[in-house]
Amino acid sequence: MADISTDVLVIGTGPAGSAAAALLSSYGISNMAVNQYRWLANTPRAHITNQRTMEVLRDLGREVEDEAYLFATHQDLMGENIFCESLAGEEIGRMKAWGNHPLSRAEHQMSSPGRMNDLPQTYMEPLLFKTACSRGTQARMSTEYLHHEQDNEGVTTVLRDRLTGGEFTVRSKYLIGADGGKSLVAEHAGLPFEGKMAVGGSMNILFRADLSKYVAHRPSVLYWVMQPGADVGGIGMGLVRMVRPWNEWLIVWGYDINGPEPEVTPEFATSVARQLIGDPDLEIELLAASTWTVNDYYATRVSEGRVFCMGDAIHRHPPSNGLGSNTSIQDAFNLAWKLAFVLKGQAGEGLLASYDDERAPVARQIVTRANQSIAETAPIFAALGMDGGVSPEQMQKNLEARSDGTAEAAAQREAIRKAIAFKKYEFDAHGVEMNQRYRSPAVVVEDQIEPAFQLDADLHYQPTTWPGARLPHVWLYRHDNGEEVSTLDLCGHGRFTLLTGLGGEAWVEAAGKVSSHLGIDLARHVIGPRCEFADHSGDWARICEIQDNGCLLVRPDHHVCWRATALVADPAADLARVLRQVLAR
Ligand code: FDA
């Protein structure tokens, strides 16, 4: 007999676990979340927060979204992305990042009601955790996962109370392993992995110092420092990262993984800070220092029976592209509604298998992307004549050489410009963040051909309502008060949504019948003049890829699961057939 029982036990209260708990509680599912430590993240690791993540927070409620923006550094202050010899030294080049180039900004604004921002993990985790606990999650800190065993009806997990040392068991119907990059749950569940752990060594130095005079005129989240040794281990270059503008910072500096792990003493931390900032007299208030490894490792299957893993537990990669916590939160958005539907008896257990089909490819994609971004730093060093390692004197000579009036220097400047511009695949890869298209039995494509990407799919988001893709965002207008509403706002909140236009009223009626027959909540909206929502700008008509009397069926995670381009003879029959397939009933 277990000591405690709950529907879902979540191991870990990082971005993945806290988001899963917050979503499950919002959907009315009993859940418990445990963390081996007494509190949440104590250093601001993740920070770049992308639009898709902001859509998840918006789905959790406007108060959650608003609080994130309240504490975040605004997108406007994120984007100069400087490459320099030190903060006080010579600037080598820069590129506008994170949607700050005017063309990229336009794409961002057209793609989502959310905006990219910089929200350190020390703010994101408490926000998600508070949302979870205030909505019903039973949370236990200082509680360590030891092992689990599953059978046909559920999972029995053994935990240790680290305050008393006593062990106890929790019986749950499902177990979520959101226990980070050293996941024991993934290991005990026997998930298969590909790639390698510890391909590079890195250290974090967190400190306070007012660096306004070096940065305020060129606001950025990231200042990349090219110095001898900067390409060893780590993330490809020395990094001075803004945590709070402009007086809290995190330096990321690499070390050779094949050598001994450096001891990051206060003296050593101060000397690295002085070297990267280029101020030999700089005084810092050291807050924390730690080492970590660069990983290139992902699970090829992300669940086993009743155990589902998410976040760093299934994708382990360097922070390049800022995808870690974002993808972790998005994993949770994919799984939580499925668990809720199964636990409420509204879907068959087969629905849960789609978590594997849909998120394992994402794990592989982002791990590959983040590691490739490190490799793509090399051309900048090469263009500066710094590949193969250089002395400070040689580096000065190389930097000077680029300022000559000679043809060689012009060629070198061109090579530097090209190499820096290519880094948009790391710092402005909007497509990587937004283009996820799912293929699984929880998506009914039928004979509809997938639209090919017109532009580079890593760089540019391409809206489509092709089943499997995220519903495109456009602004609509509420008929009663003219208020602007995103198409995404019509969807989500744990329920399916049917969208149609004038002439599609039969879909609405059919959806009402089918939803009561299946016992599920199915929101229904007609878009058009004098309807609940108007498309005054015509943006919806241009983007929806269906006729006015067609329909889109959207899952609770905003992904389209089926569409009909026009009204059919028996809409109820089609909707019932599709929903039965999606819900594995
Ligand atoms: P995470 O590791 O955060 O949490 C794991 C949880 O499990 C913790 O609560 C832990 O205590 C708990 N746990 C572990 N073992 C346990 C056990 N046995 N029993 C009980 N509890 C246990 N990402 C991003 O999206 N944007 C960015 O800009 C960056 N930047 C960045 C910079 C730097 C320097 C680093 C090191 C990392 C990033 N990241 C990032 C990555 C990001 O930090 C990372 O991907 C997320 O924290 C992963 O979230 P998870 O919830 O999966 O694991």
pLDDT in tens, 445-481: 999 999 999 999 999 999 999 999 999 999 999 999 9
**Does residue 226 have a pLDDT over 70?**
yes
Work out the mean pLDDT of the chain and round it to a whole number: 96
Please give the single-letter amino acid code of residue 254. G
39 Cβ inside 6 Å of ligand 1? no
Residue-level pLDDT at 39? 97
Q: Which residue has the higher pLDDT, 388 or 576?
A: 576
pLDDT in tens, 227-254: 877 767 777 688 999 999 999 999 998 8
Residue intervals in the chain for CATH 3.40.30.120: 436-582
pLDDT in tens, 333-352: 999 999 999 999 999 999 99
- Tell me which residue of 364, 356, 343, 342 sits closest to 309, measured CA to CA: 356
Reported for 551-554, long-range contacts at CB under 8 A and 24+ positions apart, including other chains, are 551/498, 551/499, 551/500, 551/504, 551/507, 552/465, 552/471, 552/498, 552/499, 552/500, 553/496, 553/497, 553/498, 553/578, 553/579, 554/471, 554/491, 554/496, 554/497, 554/498, 554/499
Instruction: Taking residues 253-282, report their average pLDDT.
Output: 91
Distance CA 345, CA 516 (A): 14
pLDDT bracket for residue 385 (50, 70, 90): confident
Three-state DSSP at 515 gives helix
322 Cβ inside 6 Å of ligand 1? yes
The two three-digit tokens of residue 470, written as one number:
């995220």
* CATH number for the segment(s) 436-582: 3.40.30.120
Mutate to test the pocket of ligand 1, among 179, 310, 330 (most ligand atoms within 8 A of CB): 179
Predicted ipTM of the assembly: 0.96
DSSP class per residue in 104-164: HHHHHHHH-SS--EE--HHHHHHHHHHHHHHTT-EEESSEEEEEEEE-SS-EEEEEEETTT
Under a CB-based contact definition with an 8 Å cutoff, are residues 584 and 351 in contact? Answer: yes
pLDDT in tens, 183-207: 999 999 999 999 999 999 999 999 9
Under a CB-based contact definition with an 8 Å cutoff, are residues 329 and 53 in contact? Answer: yes
184 Cβ inside 6 Å of ligand 1? yes
Residue-level pLDDT at 82? 97
Instruction: Taking residues 97-115, report their average pLDDT.
Output: 98
**Does residue 296 have a pLDDT over 70?**
yes
47 Cβ inside 6 Å of ligand 1? yes
How many other CB atoms are found less than 10 A from the CB of residue 230?
A: 25
* CATH number among 3.20.20.140, 3.50.50.60, 3.30.70.20, 1.10.150.120, domain 4-72+119-192+300-372: 3.50.50.60
Residue intervals in the chain for CATH 3.50.50.60: 4-72+119-192+300-372
**How far is the CA of 417 from the CAs of 222, 224, 370, 388, 411, in angstroms?**
18, 15, 22, 20, 10
292 Cβ inside 6 Å of ligand 1? yes
206 Cβ inside 6 Å of ligand 1? no
| Gap from CA of 35 to ligand 1 centroid (Å) | 12
501 Cβ inside 6 Å of ligand 1? no
**Does residue 174 have a pLDDT over 70?**
yes
Find the helix packing angle between 121-134 and 15-26, rounded to 10°: 30
- Tell me which residue of 292, 18, 307 sits closest to 157, measured CA to CA: 307
468 Cβ inside 6 Å of ligand 1? no
| Gap from CA of 486 to ligand 1 centroid (Å) | 31
The minimum-distance atom of ligand 1 relative to the CA of 16 is 51
**Does residue 506 have a pLDDT over 90?**
yes
pLDDT in tens, 37-70: 999 999 999 999 999 999 999 999 999 999 999 9
**Does residue 399 have a pLDDT over 90?**
no
The minimum-distance atom of ligand 1 relative to the CA of 292 is 36
**How far is the CA of 469 from the CAs of 128, 357, 461, 525, 546, in angstroms?**
26, 14, 11, 19, 14
Q: Which residue has the higher pLDDT, 134 or 397?
A: 134
- Tell me which residue of 573, 566, 480, 476 sits closest to 528, measured CA to CA: 476
Token pair 């975040």: residue: 72
% pLDDT > 90, the chain: 91
Find the helix packing angle between 121-134 and 62-71, rounded to 10°: 160
Weakest mean pLDDT among 163-177, 249-263, 307-321: 249-263
Distance CA 145, CA 160 (A): 7
HEC letters along 13-72:
CCHHHHHHHHHHHHCCCCEEEECCCCCCCCCCCCCEECHHHHHHHHHHCHHHHHHHHHHC
528 Cβ inside 6 Å of ligand 1? no
Distance CA 97, CA 42 (A): 27
| Gap from CA of 325 to ligand 1 centroid (Å) | 7
Mutate to test the pocket of ligand 1, among 36, 188, 316 (most ligand atoms within 8 A of CB): 36
Residue-level pLDDT at 256? 86
Q: Where are the beta strands (DSSP E) in 432-520?
A: 475-478, 484-486, 496-501
| Gap from CA of 125 to ligand 1 centroid (Å) | 10
Residue-level pLDDT at 389? 66
Residue-level pLDDT at 417? 96
